[in-house]
Amino acid sequence: MNETLKVIKSRRTTRKFKSEQIKNEELQAIIEAGLYAPSAHNQQSWNFTVIQNSELIKELNRESKEAAKGFNDEVIQKMANNEKLDVFYGAPTLIIVSGMDSAMMPQVDCAAATQNMLIAAESLNIGSCWNGFISFLFNGPKAEEYKKKLNIPEGFTPYYAIALGYKDTKAINAPARREGTVQYIR
Looking at the DSSP bridge assignments, the partners of residue 47 are: 98
* Cβ proximity of 116 and 186 under 8 Å: no
Tell me, what amino acid is at 80? A
The confidence band for 148, taking pLDDT boundaries of 50, 70 and 90, is very high
pLDDT tops 80 at residue 50: yes
| pLDDT band at residue 177 under the 50/70/90 scheme | confident
Q: Model's pTM, two decimal places?
A: 0.94
Q: How far apart are CA 169 and CA 47, in angstroms?
A: 30
The string of pLDDT tens digits covering residues 65-115 is 999 998 999 999 999 999 999 999 999 999 999 999 999 999 999 999 999
Give residue 69's pLDDT: 94
Q: Give the CATH number of domain 12-165.
A: 3.40.109.10
